[in-house]
Structure 1
Amino acid sequence: MALPSVMVLPLLIVIAAGVYYIYNEVMHFMSKSQVRNKVVVITDAVSGVGTECAQLFHKGGARLILCGTNWDKLESLYDRLTNDADPKETFAPKLVILDFSDMDSIEDVVAEVLECYGYVDVLICNSSVKVKAPVQSVSLELDRNIMDVNYFGPSTLAKGVLPPMISRRSGHIVLVNSIQGRLAVPFRSSYAASKHAAQAFFDCLRAEVEEYGIVVSTISHTFINASDPPPVEEPTPKPNTLAAFIASQLTHGVRPSVLANEIMQTVNRKRKEVVLAHPIPRVALYLRSLVPPFLFAVLSAGVKDSVLAVQ
């Protein structure tokens, strides 16, 4: 007997919801199985994104090596991961002090990381330092510090763990970068420059190590938003509405948990490049390639408006 037409749409919705649920459950199971027993290094593991990543990979049964600049915070994260964990399903993380602002110590850090298990399956470069200021007010010392943390540190660490990956002909290196590695925004010259440099390095690395079965991924995201969303306020008129809208979208952050899930999916699916951004930043990327004068004009107008607002 044929179903009444009024029942067709609800039935299709129920079927679609069931398929979606099954798909999510399968993907969740595969996420755990694919990282189980893998040696995973996470830099800046005590940050919001690093902590979320540590929890995901630890539950998945990965052999974690957690890196950070503060030993007390690392121990606190260790306790949080192991207190409620099943020792039959998970491994106790190993802790390593890593400070990219001290480049002289990186060689010893690499040796300590490799001593843990003898090799690394997945390296997640998550460390970052930001600054927002006009170009002329940023000192050379601050420029160098930003380049150390955002570029020289991750690239040096990647070089250090690369030989065992090449000899084993497997491995995955993930750079958690910023969309400003692809699109520069005013008042963030040093930060954008360091992210551009990191993007270029890991793009080159990807091509060079592909023959060894090593995957290199870059994740370009908007700013990390770890705070609660602010209350909605009535917008005030601005001289350049388009510039203000683009600026607000470029700085609209992603939640640490969302980014951590994206990192996990990137590792599982071996994605090479991911852009985690809202539509406006994505459109700005296309404008940068197709009609750069238009984008430059909009950004310049936004700078003029911000100066007028301060005055």
Structure 2
Amino acid sequence: MGLPSFMVLPLLVLTAAGVYYIYNQVMQFMSKSLVKNKVVVITDAVSGVGIECAHLFHKGGARLVLCGNTWDKLESLYDSLTNNADPRETFAPKLVILDFSDTDSMEDVVGEMLECYGYVDVLICNSSMKLKAPVQSVSLELDRNIMDINYFGPSTLAKGVLPSMISRRSGHILLVNSIQGRLAVPFRSSYAASKHAAQAFFDCLRAEVEEYGVTVSTVSHTFINVSEPPAAAEPAPPQNALLAFLASQLTHGVRPPVLANEIMQTVNRKRKEVVLAHPIPRVALYLRSLFPPFLFAVLAAGVKDSVLAEQMQ
């Protein structure tokens, strides 16, 4: 006797949910085994995303080289990783001072990284300087500082570790980028420009080193949301419905643990490009390519709307 028709859909949903759960559990188990004993360098390891990545890769048994511009924060992260850790399953991280704004120090930093274990399996370029301001108010000095941190720093570091990866015919370079490396929004001119430059550099690098067995990945995300959900506010004055919806979508960022997990999965699966964003930013990417005049009109209208301009991230 067959199942009643009204039970078929719930059973299919439960089956799909079960398969998805088992798949996630298997992938999490594989994630730990795939990074075990790998030499993984994480820049800006003392940031929210860097800390989450450090914990994930450390639990997976990776040989970590953690970079940051503050020794006290690096030592604090070291303590949080090594306290109560099983030395039979994990390695004590190596610490390296790295300041992307000091481009003259990059050669010495690369040498110090390579001295830790003699080579690098995975380089995770995670650093970012953000700026929200009208174009006419941003100085040339600030433009250059943003470019140093968001573009010249990661690209110089990638060039530094590349020769050893090519000689070993193995390696993975991953750029943690912003979706604004693919889609620029108002009041983010310098930031978006630096992210566009970094995206282009790593796209070119990917094609150039593929024949040597070196993987290059980019993970483009919306803004990182480290805040707690806001309390209910007073009702706002009525505004354009489309712009209000866009503004609500732009307040949804990605949590550091979610981004860190995506980074690990990208390393394990050797994916070349990942976009971690909600549907509205994804649609905007397609509009930028297929219907740019429409997107430009929406963005221009948004600048005139004070609520959307304030929420634009």
Q: Which moved more, 1:264-273 or 1:7-16?
A: 7-16
C-alpha separation in 2, matches of 1:17 and 1:249: 27
Q: Quick check: 1:286 aligned with 2:286?
A: yes
Alignment match, 2:92: 92
> Using a 3 Å threshold, how does the CA distance of structure 1 residues 82 and 291 change in structure 2: closer, same or farther?
same
The runs of 5 or more residues in structure 1 that have no matched partner are: none
Deviations 1:60-86, CA, capped at 9 Å, x for gaps: 000000000000000000000000211
Alignment match, 1:209: 209
Alignment match, 1:44: 44
> Using a 3 Å threshold, how does the CA distance of structure 1 residues 244 and 145 change in structure 2: closer, same or farther?
farther
C-alpha separation in 2, matches of 1:233 and 1:257: 27
| 1:20 Cα deviation from its structure 2 partner | 3.2
Q: CA RMSD in A?
A: 2.1
Alignment match, 1:141: 141
Alignment match, 1:260: 260
C-alpha separation in 1, matches of 2:48 and 2:71: 16
Alignment match, 2:170: 170
Contact map agreement 2:243 2:308 (CA 8 A) in 1: no
Amino acid at match of 1:128: S
Amino acid at match of 1:276: L
C-alpha separation in 2, matches of 1:270 and 1:51: 22
Question: TM-score, normalised to structure 1's length?
Answer: 0.94
| 1:209 Cα deviation from its structure 2 partner | 0.3
Equivalent residue pairs, number: 309
Amino acid at match of 1:75: E
> Using a 3 Å threshold, how does the CA distance of structure 1 residues 115 and 15 change in structure 2: closer, same or farther?
same
C-alpha separation in 2, matches of 1:17 and 1:309: 39
Amino acid at match of 1:23: Y
> Using a 3 Å threshold, how does the CA distance of structure 1 residues 302 and 112 change in structure 2: closer, same or farther?
same
The 5-angstrom pairing of residues 40-119 of structure 1 reads 40-119=40-119
Q: Quick check: 1:123 aligned with 2:98?
A: no
Identity %: 85
Contact map agreement 1:240 1:301 (CA 8 A) in 2: no
Amino acid at match of 2:102: D
Q: Could you say what secondary structure the match of 1:75 adopts?
A: helix
Amino acid at match of 1:140: L
The 5-angstrom pairing of residues 174-253 of structure 1 reads 174-233=174-233, 236-253=236-253
Contact map agreement 1:178 1:195 (CA 8 A) in 2: yes
Contact map agreement 1:222 1:251 (CA 8 A) in 2: no
Contact map agreement 1:246 1:281 (CA 8 A) in 2: no
Amino acid at match of 2:103: M
Amino acid at match of 2:118: G
Contact map agreement 2:97 2:109 (CA 8 A) in 1: yes
Contact map agreement 2:246 2:308 (CA 8 A) in 1: no
Deviations 1:200-228, CA, capped at 9 Å, x for gaps: 00000000000001110011100000111
Contact map agreement 2:38 2:62 (CA 8 A) in 1: yes
> Using a 3 Å threshold, how does the CA distance of structure 1 residues 309 and 69 change in structure 2: closer, same or farther?
closer
Question: TM-score, normalised to structure 2's length?
Answer: 0.93
Amino acid at match of 1:81: L
| 1:38 Cα deviation from its structure 2 partner | 0.4
The runs of 5 or more residues in structure 2 that have no matched partner are: none
Amino acid at match of 1:196: H
> Using a 3 Å threshold, how does the CA distance of structure 1 residues 307 and 114 change in structure 2: closer, same or farther?
same
Amino acid at match of 1:284: A
C-alpha separation in 1, matches of 2:307 and 2:8: 59
Contact map agreement 1:55 1:81 (CA 8 A) in 2: yes
| 1:18 Cα deviation from its structure 2 partner | 4.0
Amino acid at match of 2:296: F
Alignment match, 2:24: 24
